[in-house]
Structures are given as structure tokens and as C-alpha cells.
Structure 1
Amino acid sequence: MEQLASTWWLILIRGICAVIFGILAIIWPAITVFVLVIFFGAYALVNGIFTLVSAFRHNVESRAWLIISGILGILAGIVTFVWPGITTLALLYVIAFWAIFTGVAEIIAGIRLRKAIDNEWMLIIGGLLSVIFGVLLLIWPASGALALTWLIGTFAIVYGIAIIMLSIKVKNLA
């Protein structure tokens, strides 16, 4: 605990950075979406390159799959940089379908578990909200991008405040 308490300020900096990121995401949602898309493109490109290097440096059975995965990653990165708007829309659709499918799974799990657990209705409500969120993203993707940015920003602020409070508690442990 003493080691953790001696670095309380690192936890504080993490919290402050999260709050600043959250505020900036809410103030500049369009820039935030663009930056997230560019970061995705950079990640996909770098990951694709390293996957290809790995495929050719290591003699593994799945070399063909690694090569395919690497090429797809590089292509995804290039497409992101060439057409960031299309990439943004595609990512929103991925999030929308993910929300719908996980929501349906939560509803089914809640129904099946109603005799085994208490308050299964919360799982069903959570699943229903997830489905609604996914459908709304499909209907209004531009508004969905804005809402996602605000959601990310709000989460970052709340998370940052929690981390700042944790840093104060950790500091008091010393």
C-alpha cells in the first residue's frame, strides 16, 4: 500500500486527463469522431503490417490466415485514411448491430434465467435498451455519432472524477 500511496499523483493525473478528454469530446464532437476514426485507421494499418511481418517471420500452420488478416488490416487502414466518412458510417453500423445482437442475447438470457436469479428484469431492460440504441443508430447514424461522442465524453468525465477521488483516498493511505 505504501508504494501505491507514494504514486497517488499518477492516479490523479489519469483522472484529470480523463476529465479533460471528456470535456473536449463533448465540446468538439465532430473532431472527436474524426480523431477516433483516424486512430482506428492507424491501428488497423500498424496491426496489419505487424501481422504480415509475423506471418513471414514465423513458420506456423496458420500463415495463410495471418497473411489474409494482415492484408485486410492494411486495406482497412488505407480505406480509413482515404474515405474517413465511409469508415465512420461503417463503424457506426458495427456498433449498431453489436448493440442489437447483444441486446437480444441479454433479453433471451433474462427470460431463461428468470427462475434462477432475482431481478432478471434488469437484464431484460438492459437488453431492450441496447436493442433500441442499436436500432436508433441504424435509423439516424449522424445523430448516433454525435450521441456516441457525448456518451464517451460523459463516461470519461464520470470515470475521471471517480479516479480523482480514488487518488485522494490512496494519498491518505500513506
Structure 2
Amino acid sequence: MRDWFFTSNARSEQMSALLARNWWAIALRGALALLLGITALALPGVTMRALVLAFGAYTLADGILAIVAAIRAAREHEHWWPLVIEGLLGIGAGVIAFWAPDATVMAFVYLSAAWAILSGAAMLAASGSLHRSHGKWVLGLAGLVSLLWGVLLACAPATGALVMTAWLGAYALLFGAALLALAFQLRRQANATSERQLQGIAVPPMWPQPPAAANRPEAGWQFVYRYRRISWR
């Protein structure tokens, strides 16, 4: 149980450091989401084809940024697979949107719902491995917003284009704001870590480290047990 606890903490530190180094990618994704939201709310009378293409462009760019961050993480031998999953989901949704831009409203709703639910679930899973100082709750909020929006679309698929545009704009604004807040918090942590390293100060661990074997209670009992066995022989 103890070994699992410290292994889990090590993964949390790894994920936190990974996102902190890639704060710029999260900031770009947030800016793209805000741009999509502003465009959707400013142009409510756009055609369904334009809406599908705008959504496809956003998800494609979002997926590419996630893949870039995953490649950088893989080079550092870090926990990279959650970013790959999220990136592939975004790229897949973007390719489908560009491949069938004249799809019906129903098809677009189901595509958006599937992407939002899967992407939100991936973010919620990643937030579980993130430290509080690195925006654990902000990332969880972004994932929850995406997940709830996907569920809303899935429960009300027969929505008109005008209402769909308003929903998309509101979701994109909330989602983008959460990602930008997360990016700024990660940037602050990355700068603090860089300053400590430049000053030669050791970066304190986010979680308590496992004690040395000699200081563990079970090590002392093992020593006593072995000593008694030797003395009894």
C-alpha cells in the first residue's frame, strides 16, 4: 500500500511538471477556444457548413497542440499518453468535420457531443494526477465543462442551428477561460521552478518522499526477527 502511495505521488509530480513545461500549448488552446466562442456568439446567423468548419478547425488545431506537447513529453521520458489520447480525439473530430462539412445538424451534434465527452473525461482523468499548486481544480473544471456540454448535446440532439451556435459559443468561452487560467497558473509554477534552479536551490518535492529503508518501522521489526532467529539457532 505504501509503495503504491509513493508511486502515485511520483506520477503526480511527473504530470504536474509536464503540464508546467507545456503551459504555452494550453494557453494557445484556450485562446483558440475563446476565438471560437466569440465568433459563434458574434455571428449567430452563420450557416451550418460554416459552423462545422469552424468547429473542425478548432478541434484539429487543439489536437495538434496536444500531440506536440506529448512528443516533448516523450523526449523527456515522461507521462505522455493522456496527451496523445486527447490529441488524437481532437484530430479525428477535425478530420471528420472537414471531410463532411455538409452534414446535417444531427450529425454535427453527435460529433460534437462525442468529442466533448471523451475530451472532458480525459481532462478529468489528468486532473486526478495533477498537484493543487499546478491547477488541479482548474483542469478538473475545464474537463467538467466539456463533459457537461457533451451530455447536454447528447440529451438534446434535435436542436436548431441558432440554438446550437449559442450553446457552442457559451461552452467555448467557459472552456477557453478555464484553460487560460490553468496556463497562467502553470506558467507561474514553471517560472518559480526555473528561478530556484538558477539560484542553485533544490526544488522541494510536492509530496512526502518515501523514508529510507533503515528508518521504516517494518525494517526494524525485520531486523529483530532475523536477530532472534539467529540467536535461537
Instruction: Provide the TM-score with structure 1 as the length reference.
Output: 0.41
Q: Which has the larger radius of gyration?
A: 2
* TM-score, normalising length: structure 2: 0.32
